[in-house]
Amino acid sequence: MSRFGRLRHQIRLLFSVVVAAFVLSGCNSGESRVEEALENADKYVKGLKTALNNGTVRNATIITQYAGILKSSRPELAPLLLELEKEATTEGPLFKSLQSRFQGIRDNTEQFPSWKEKHAELTAIIRGADLSIYNDALSDTVNVIADLSRGELARVNAVSQDVEQKMNKSSDYGAGSQYIGNPHYGRWSHGSGGSFWAWYGQYAFFSSMFGGRRYYYNDWGRNRGYSYYHDYGRNNYTSRSQRAGQRDVDNRARKQFGSRGNYKSPYSKSRSGSSGISRNSTAQQKSLFKSQYSSGGKTSKFQSSSRNSRYRTSRGVSRGK
């Protein structure tokens, strides 16, 4: 081999070593970031568990108080209210989902294509377990109970039902509407007329209250109202499998109704109606995730204009009607 050939060979070897070292360094860096996020997620989930057990989460306390009041005035709602009261404890679906998602990563039963996706899921869990954000998320349940009271109890962190419908030109889907589309309370079933919402058994009373009325995805997508889950917390409180299910439902609706020109995704724009949401919720909302629903694939911010609205209520509480 000539001197020039040997030099070329040495350069190639050196380049290969440098590339391998760079890749290895990146992997180690990624693994260390995942380990750090795993420790933080453990701390946040445990901290949230302690706060719920100690009764120091404000909206959890309101849930318990509201449920107690409504059991007296509307005893027929008692079975449903017993389920809703679980949201104030570690037995609620929101907390149990966060805990399950964390355990899946910790125990390596949940597999990820890359460390970046695992880190992103841990970041969502950390945000979801943040006390102020979790307190905001519980406002949906508080407001479901408030709406069941027919105006006797005040909404929190949101404007009244009548005002919200005027702001968004949204339809009245009845008490429990904040839960429609939230996979912790039901699922989208598929039929010839499109996907329709089916409550899980413990929440079936929402359906029986309105004579078994069906809520179709295409109609709901165009006319849904404000909820914390849909307009702030969907990334934090949705598992990977639930996100895949949401994408599937949307793709079905897009294929079925898109050619007619009357399809509109429920996440094509955010809804107004929040009031008194914490700074942590509004800050993390600005960089939630890249959504297939946003134009050009850009980051979807789901910004709510209601914080500057003349309808904003003091102290985050408003009457149900």
- What is the spatial distance between Cα 101 and Cα 184, in angstroms, rounded to a whole number? 13
Q: What is the pLDDT of residues 205-239, one digit of tens each?
A: 999 887 778 999 999 999 999 999 999 999 999 99
Tell me if 304 sits within 8 A of 272, measured CB to CB: yes
DSSP 3-state of 194: strand
Tell me if 278 sits within 8 A of 238, measured CB to CB: no
Q: Output the six-digit token pair for 296.
A: 């050009």
Angle, nearest 10°, between helix axes 3-54 and 115-129?
20
- In sequence order, the 6+-apart residues with CB closer than 8 A to the CB of 181 are 188, 197, 220, 224, 229, 230, 266
Read off the pLDDT of each residue in 151-167 and give the average, rounded to a whole number.
95
- In sequence order, the 6+-apart residues with CB closer than 8 A to the CB of 165 are 171, 172, 225
DSSP 3-state of 310: coil
- What is the spatial distance between Cα 236 and Cα 182, in angstroms, rounded to a whole number? 12
Paired strand residues for 189: 196
The answer on pLDDT for 47 being more than 80 is yes
Write down the domain spans for the chain: 32-319
The answer on pLDDT for 26 being more than 70 is no
| Cα dist from 81 to 65, 78, 149, 209, 281, whole Å | 11, 5, 11, 14, 27
Residues 51, 315, 146: CA angle, nearest 5 degrees: 75
- What is the spatial distance between Cα 256 and Cα 123, in angstroms, rounded to a whole number? 35
Q: What is the pLDDT of residues 83-126, one digit of tens each?
A: 999 999 999 999 999 999 999 999 999 999 999 999 999 999 99
* Widest CA span in the chain: 96
pLDDT of residue 286: 60
pLDDT of residue 29: 85
Return the closest-CA partner of residue 236 out of 197, 278, 194, 189: 278
DSSP 3-state of 158: strand
Give the helix/strand (H/E) hosting 76. none
| Cα dist from 300 to 125, 170, 235, 278, 290, whole Å | 19, 21, 11, 19, 6
- What is the spatial distance between Cα 160 and Cα 142, in angstroms, rounded to a whole number? 13
Share of the chain above pLDDT 90, in %: 70
Q: What is the pLDDT of residues 266-321, one digit of tens each?
A: 988 889 999 999 999 987 666 543 444 544 333 333 333 333 332 233 344 555 45
Q: Output the six-digit token pair for 114.
A: 């890359």
pLDDT of residue 4: 54
Tell me if 45 sits within 8 A of 129, measured CB to CB: yes
- What is the spatial distance between Cα 217 and Cα 246, in angstroms, rounded to a whole number? 11
- What is the spatial distance between Cα 118 and Cα 38, in angstroms, rounded to a whole number? 10
Q: From its phi and psi, is residue 155 left (phi > 0), alpha (psi between -120 and 50) or beta?
A: beta
Tell me if 320 sits within 8 A of 152, measured CB to CB: yes
Paired strand residues for 300: 289
What sign has the CA pseudo-torsion 91, 281, 221, 237? negative
Instruction: Please state, rounded to an integer, the average pLDDT across all residues of the chain.
Output: 85
Tell me if 69 sits within 8 A of 150, measured CB to CB: no
Give 28's pLDDT tier (boundaries 50, 70, 90). Answer: low
